[in-house]
């Protein structure tokens, strides 16, 4: 089945945020190690230089060369100390920036999660996870445009679960919801990856079948026929009606769905599930 974008193979928003944060922590650890090593080296250098200069300072040598050397050593020690202070200051600034960036990444992650939730509510059917009616009709419009552009066949299949009201009346609405959910799951498994499954509402479903051969519709229906659904201690026969039609170049989404619905009505009126040729309206 052609899944919505949020079900693609690319990592989701939480995974991307976690990946970024992991890299940030690695950078922070490396920076601390680098600067700690630099500070240690400079401190050792300072101690070494001071050890050479200290005896001369104690002797109060009057020699001009020794005096200049002492002044140079003092200046070097001062520069090293200033460098260490500057290094620590910069490291603190980098750490502050990283903390701010971490907070921004967390905020971004929450925003993307909420965007994904809104997307699901707007595009997907909450019970089955299939496309809802509005998004399904938009996808059908896209497939119609593609069919016209490339002169390729397109078939629309409508399905209607039989006796769902009787299931709700006898076993309750949770049983009816389970019938709908399991039917949707089996429908997804029965179609190709390029096909689009839609829950129109209630017990009605639509499947958009690009480049579908006539016998392929029967293959889909054959994978759904004769199934049972187990709910508590009850076994429910999964029965449904189906009707399908081929797209005629130039017609609208509404016209195509109307003809497919007429095909479904023919099958429901006949009261059979053998899906003979009269279930297709051309």
Region of residue 50 (phi > 0: left; psi between -120 and 50: alpha; otherwise: beta)? alpha
- Host H or E run for residue 135: helix 133-150
Q: Which of 160, 195, 203, 261 is catalytic?
A: 203
32 vs 14: CA distance, rounded Å: 27
Question: Any catalytic annotation for residue 203?
Answer: yes
Give the position of tokens 């998004």: 135
Check if the beta carbon of residue 197 is closer than 8 Å to that of residue 185: no
Dig out the tokens for 20 from the structure.
């970024």
Rounded to the nearest 5 degrees, what angle is found at the Cα of 235, between the Cα atoms of 229 and 240? 50
266 vs 246: CA distance, rounded Å: 16
- The catalytic site residues sit at 203
């Amino acid at each position: 089945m052609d899944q919505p974008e949020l079900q693609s193979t690319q990592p989701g928003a939480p995974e991307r945020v976690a990946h970024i944060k992991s890299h940030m922590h690695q950078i922070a650890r490396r920076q601390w190690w680098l600067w700690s090593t630099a500070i240690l080296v400079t401190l050792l250098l300072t101690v070494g230089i001071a050890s050479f200069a200290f005896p001369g300072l104690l002797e109060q040598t009057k020699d001009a060369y020794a005096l200049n050397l002492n002044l140079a050593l003092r200046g070097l020690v001062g520069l090293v100390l200033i460098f260490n202070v500057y290094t620590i200051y910069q490291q603190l600034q980098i750490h502050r920036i990283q903390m701010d960036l971490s907070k921004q990444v967390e905020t971004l992650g929450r925003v993307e999660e909420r965007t994904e939730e809104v997307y699901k509510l707007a595009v997907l059917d909450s019970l089955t996870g299939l496309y809802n009616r509005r998004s399904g009709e938009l996808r059908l419009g896209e497939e119609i445009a593609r069919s016209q552009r490339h002169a390729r066949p397109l078939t629309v299949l409508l399905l209607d679960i039989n006796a769902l009201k009787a299931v709700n009346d006898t076993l309750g609405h949770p049983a009816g919801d389970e019938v709908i959910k399991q039917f949707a799951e089996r429908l997804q498994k029965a179609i190709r990856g390029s096909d689009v499954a839609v829950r129109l509402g209630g017990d009605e479903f639509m499947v958009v079948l690009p480049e579908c051969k006539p016998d392929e519709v029967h293959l889909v229906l054959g994978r759904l026929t004769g199934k049972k659904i187990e709910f508590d201690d009850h076994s429910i026969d999964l029965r449904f009606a189906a009707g399908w039609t081929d797209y005629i170049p130039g017609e609208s989404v509404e016209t195509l769905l109307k003809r497919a619905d007429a095909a479904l009505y023919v099958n429901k009126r006949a009261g059979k599930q053998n899906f003979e040729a009269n279930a297709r309206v051309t």
